[in-house]
Amino acid sequence: MDLAVVELSRLQFALTAMYHFLFVPLTLGLSFMLVIMESIYVITEREIWRTITRFWARLFGINFVLGVATGLTMEFEFGMNWSYYSHYVGDIFGAPLAIEGLMAFFLEATFVGLMFFGWDKLSKQLHLLVTFLVALGSNLSALWILIANGWMQNPVGSRFNPDTMRMEVVDFYSVLFNPVAQAKFVHTVSAGYVTASVFVLGISAWYLLRGRYTALAKRSLTVAAAFGLASSLSVVVLGDESGYALTDHQKMKLAAIEAMWHTEKAPAGLTLFGLPSVKDRETRYEIKIPYVLGLISTRSLTGQVQGINELVLHAQERIESGKLAYGALEDLKADRTNAAARATFEANRSNLGYAMLLKRYVPDPRNATADQVMQAAWDTVPNVPVTFWLFRLMAGLGFFFIGFFALAFYYATVRRFDVKWFLRAAVIIMPLPWLAAEMGWVLAEYGRQPWAIEGVLPTFLGASSLTVAQVWTTIAAFTLLYSALAFIEVRLMLAAIRKGPESKRGRDLASGIEPTDAGYAPLPAE
């Protein structure tokens, strides 16, 4: 295998995924914020809420189109750049993606047109239902995609078939209700809600700083503050649940995130700061909070969090067991009726993937030396400094958002929309939730290396038989295309923001003055 092709294929998919995830969080969050705003319109019948909903819907539409365009490419990359991966696990991995396309994407794609063009053709109640279905479809898309991704990190409900030489579904309900997938879903969509809340809050603050569209800005800021506070609290709480899932299913990732080289006495402490050294296999200048890691990750005072060194030794044992499974599998290829080989394979089948780690060093894992086995065992350790710092930066931003939205909620509650430093801060921090979301995905995917499928298929075995030139060409093409699309989206967003809302009755919303005979009164601050 050409490892350069493998690494470039990883880079290509990572670039595509990160471009795609620039648009996804905003789609997830804005869709439900539109439901909230339009619900207020339907309940109160205040025309301004119709105007507010249509304004944010316009920005949602721009973002939605770009999200679809970038997402479709990744579907094809599985077959084009990761052909063996698709062949090996397509029976399981392909099912959630197919359901996502048939159920969720078609749902949102069908109703998004009705949402934009049905304002004057549908009743208020029916249009609200349409908006809700768009939001439901967007979030269901995330659910099925994360079910597929969760299975990659915890391959439940599946089994390797030695007769077909592929992974196959044995329990789809286990795949569906995979605890890793469920934790990832609620954590990811909550992060999207935070992203949308910061987006709405920042634009509203920008309007208030310039004294434009203040009626819209004050109401939008209030909704964003409440929605964002609830969402940011959910992100932290559900992130804790994701951490708990790591304890059972991805012990090495958890150890790498904490830069824990040795198993500590339970309950382990949480490292706030440290300088991990891969060369010396230690973390220097550690600052720890006693007991916290053990309590979070095991939900007990006695549960242990295993260290990297101990997990490497365990991986070494699994590789040796995997070599037996690999040898038995080769015997079964030659003679399907070999009962002894089948018995040996069944006894060691769960470790077959670990034997595949040896293919980086030797064509036949059965011929691997003790040094090669140990080297492969250390390959199960992801980049410790990267995972360590990515997690702390992401978690730090999560707690920052809680504090910021709490302050925003307070100002909105007391009708203090004139605090200049806060409004400026709201504009400045707008990129931060995207940064946190991208770091979260890098942590999730980078932290499970060297596995494409945890414990089943090493990443380097999943790539297609392409050349370096072919992969570089597609990387350059995709980067140029998506950079152009991202530039276009930003220009369209800025143009729509500068233009501001369109009022059905032609009122000047820039003044912030609203007629009381329209069925509602101005806000007290106005």
Specify the range with the lowest mean pLDDT, choosing from 141-150, 300-309, 411-420.
300-309
| pLDDT at residue number 182 | 87
| pLDDT at residue number 512 | 45
Dihedral pair phi/psi, residue 457, rounded to 5°: -135, 115
| pLDDT at residue number 268 | 86
* pLDDT above 70 (res 505): no
Average pLDDT score over residue span 139-155: 91
* pLDDT above 90 (res 369): yes
Residue-wise pLDDT for 24-34, tens only, equals 999 999 999 99
Extents of the domains making up the chain:
3-238+465-502, 308-378
The pTM of the full predicted model, rounded to 2 decimals, is 0.89
| pLDDT at residue number 103 | 81
| pLDDT at residue number 489 | 87
Average pLDDT score over residue span 198-202: 97
Tokens linked to 287: 């600052």
Residue-wise pLDDT for 375-412, tens only, equals 999 999 999 999 999 999 999 999 999 999 999 999 99
| pLDDT at residue number 21 | 86
Question: 113 near 57, Cβ under 8 Å?
Answer: no
At a CB cut-off of 8 Å and minimum separation 6, what does 41 contact? Answer: 47, 49, 50, 52, 53, 124
* H or E stretch at 273: strand 270-277
Specify the range with the lowest mean pLDDT, choosing from 65-69, 188-192, 330-334, 505-509.
505-509
Half-sphere exposure of 472 (CA within 13 A, CB side): 4
| pLDDT at residue number 523 | 41
Average pLDDT score over residue span 226-235: 93
Question: 306 near 257, Cβ under 8 Å?
Answer: no
* pLDDT above 70 (res 82): yes
Peptide bond connecting 450 to the previous residue in cis, omega within 30 degrees of 0: yes
Candidates 75, 211, 121, 149; CA nearest to 500 is 211
| pLDDT at residue number 57 | 94
Q: State the Cα–Cα distance between residues 196 and 205, nearest whole angstrom.
A: 14
* pLDDT above 50 (res 526): no
Band of pLDDT at residue 213, cut at 50, 70 and 90 = very high
* pLDDT above 70 (res 517): no
Q: State the Cα–Cα distance between residues 420 and 367, nearest whole angstrom.
A: 69
* pLDDT above 90 (res 448): no
Please list, residue by residue across 40-73, b when 16 or more beta carbons sit within 10 angstroms of its beta carbon and e when fewer do. bbbeeebbbbbbbbbbbbbbbbbbbbbbbbbbeb
516 vs 38, more confident: 38
Q: Percent of the chain, pLDDT > 90?
A: 58
Residue-wise pLDDT for 253-273, tens only, equals 989 999 999 988 888 888 889
* pLDDT above 90 (res 446): no
Q: What does each C-alpha distance from 147 to 242, 350, 436 come to in angstroms?
A: 14, 22, 21
Q: State the Cα–Cα distance between residues 102 and 91, nearest whole angstrom.
A: 17
Question: 387 near 274, Cβ under 8 Å?
Answer: no
Average pLDDT in the chain: 88
